[in-house]
Structures are given as structure tokens and as C-alpha cells.
Structure 1
Amino acid sequence: MTSNAYSRRPARLDVAVTLEVFVDAPIEKVFDFLAAEDVLPKILTGYGLVPGVVSTSDISGPWDQPGSHRVVHLADGSTVNEGVTEYDRPSYFAYRVSDPNFALKHLMDGARGQFWFAPAKGGTNVKWTYTFRAKNSFVKLPLTLFVKTQWKGYMNVCLGNVLKHFAHF
């Protein structure tokens, strides 16, 4: 990851969305599926203006190790860097996203994704928060509109794909 701007900008520039879902599967299976190195093309299939993930490359190390990073390739030919920041199986993992080479590069300095997993009767509760950091206060409004409409829809499709995956078991 080449940019550390996310951590240097004030929190007032954050734009976040959180979704929660119940998955009818044991916590370890849900965690291992969502935190897997090869999962992105299976679940991030696209929504509205947000293209799906087609592949990843340049993986620097084991995906269960903080500090490992990769390049994520999107269906429109664009890329973004992603790196593991925390990994605590089976309860939590987090990652940082930076250096998009598509339109969001004008609005964001970076983003942080976080997943929490909690055992629940008959399955697992999953909470996913995605926090974008706006480049400045002038672009926070358009970034907020994008996050609340397009990105939230993208996250909903992703979690729907997770539910479909576990419905087959």
C-alpha cells in the first residue's frame, strides 16, 4: 500500500456505512469464507456504478497476516490496493483500501473495511462497516451521496451473495 493518507486525515472527513446480516452457518465457516484470499470475485459482483471484482494479483503474503497486501482488479479495468490491517479469527478482520485508479480517486484518500463476527443461535451475526475518508471537506458531500446510494447497494449485493453461498450447504 503506497498511501497512508487515510490515517493522517481528520475523522470529520469520514463517510461510513454499516450493514448487518445473520448467516445460517457456524462462525468459523463464515469467517473463513469472508476472509479468504480468493473470495472477492465470488461476492463483490457489482452494483450500479460500482463494478465487480474480477481478480486479485501481486499478493505479498499470507492473507491471514496483517501487513499483507494485493491489487484488486475490477470489471471496468480499474484497480485498487488492499491490505490486511487486523486479523483475529474467528471474530474480526479489517483491511485498508488505497490508490484507486478510477473516479473515486478524486473524492477519497482511502477507505477501511471492518468485519465483526459473533456466534448466534443457529448461525453467525456478521457486521460490516466500510469507512471512506474524503480528500477534503469540499468533496465530502458527493462522496457521501455515492456511499449512501451506490456503495451501500454494493455491500447489500455482497452480503446477499454470502447468504446464497451458505444456502447451498
Structure 2
Amino acid sequence: MLITHTDQIVPITVFARTSVPPETAFAVTAPIDLSLVFKADRFFPGISHVEKQHDAWDHVGMAREPHFTDGSHVTERLTEYTAPHGFAYELTEFTNVLSAMAQGVRGEFSFLPDGGGSIIRWTYEFKPRPGRRWILRGPFKPLWKRYMQRALDRMADVAEVRDPR
């Protein structure tokens, strides 16, 4: 387990509202092509492709290696998968600047009913390296939150387009 109850984490949470039900939002978001939604901006690279995913992204223990547009990569492992309510994963072994700031990240998606649609909640919990919490909590956090929000908005857009109703 990457993060324990005693760790001093830096959490960042974003939300998106969509007209699709939670089941659809989950079914689209969990296996989404990461390169569709993680686009490079001024501060962060996008995701170019994913390697080492040998099976469907639908059960605990699955691992894959997202590659970024700057040539770096990270290891991602599913730690929870409860369709259609949510899933969680850990990101470790960063090969970019995040390796100097965080030991890893725990990400979690929740899909909540909202009338006939849903609210998607996405949280990143950074586990800072010693002496780096202030960077993650300070100047990094608003930039990363904006990056996450844009990616989540793209995920909600993809769910809207793929809604079978």
C-alpha cells in the first residue's frame, strides 16, 4: 500500500457533471484511451500511449505503463475496482520531474447519481518525498488541479458522445 493513514498527503479533487448515468460514465471512463484526455499544456506533458497493458483494465492488480509526450513514463496499477461505483489506482516509478517530488500518487474515481445523470469525482493524493510537501501543496497544486479538471472535462465529453441512449 503506497499511502497509509499516517502519511502527510497532498490531495487534489475535481468534479464533472454529465447527463449520462453513473453506469455509463464508469463504463466509458475506466477503460478510456488516456491519450484522448491527457493533453499537453504549458506545464505538463500529455499521454502519448500506453504500454504493458496485457489485459482489460477491469480488475485489481492490473498494471500498465502510460508514456508521456516528453518521453517519460509511469507505472499505474489498479488497487480497487467496484463497477459501476468507482475505481482506484496507484502511480509509481515516475521517470519525470514528479519522481523528485512524490513517492507516488493514489488516484480515485467515484461515479455518483445526479438526477438522470452523474457527477464524476476524481481525487489525486500525492505522497510527497521528504521536504517536498510544500512544493506540491503550494505552487504545484493549482496548476495540477487545472490540468486534472481539463482532463476530467474531456472524459465527461467522451461519456456524453458514447452514451447509448
Q: 1:8 to 1:57 in 2, by over 3 A?
A: same
- Residues 21-32 of structure 1: pairs in structure 2 closer than 5 A: 21-32=16-27
Deviation by residue 1:87-133 (Cα, 9 ceiling, x = unmatched) = 00000100000000011111100000001111221211111110000
TM-score by length of 2: 0.90
Give secondary structure in 1 for the equivalent of 2:3: helix
Within the alignment, does 1:128 sit opposite 2:119 as a pair? no
Contact kept? 1:15, 1:147, Cα under 8 Å: no
Structure 2: segments with no counterpart, 5+ residues: none
- Residues 3-82 of structure 1: pairs in structure 2 closer than 5 A: 6-7=2-3, 10-12=6-8, 14-36=9-31, 38-82=32-76
TM-score by length of 1: 0.88
- Moved segments of 4+, more than 3 Å: 7-10, 166-169
CA RMSD of aligned residues (A): 1.8
Counterpart CA distance in 1 for 2:49 and 2:34 is 7
Q: 1:148 to 1:18 in 2, by over 3 A?
A: same
- 2:154 counterpart residue number: 161
Q: In the alignment, residue 108 of structure 1 is paired with which amino acid? A: A
Counterpart CA distance in 2 for 1:33 and 1:147 is 29
Identity %: 28
Contact kept? 1:17, 1:147, Cα under 8 Å: no
Q: In the alignment, residue 163 of structure 1 is paired with which amino acid? A: A
Counterpart CA distance in 2 for 1:149 and 1:21 is 17
Deviation by residue 1:13-44 (Cα, 9 ceiling, x = unmatched) = x10111112111121211011100x4211111
2:138 to 139, 145, 164: 145
Structure 1: segments with no counterpart, 5+ residues: none
Q: In the alignment, residue 15 of structure 1 is paired with which amino acid? A: V
Q: In the alignment, residue 123 of structure 2 is paired with which amino acid? A: T
Number of aligned pairs? 162
2:93 to 99, 108, 128: 99
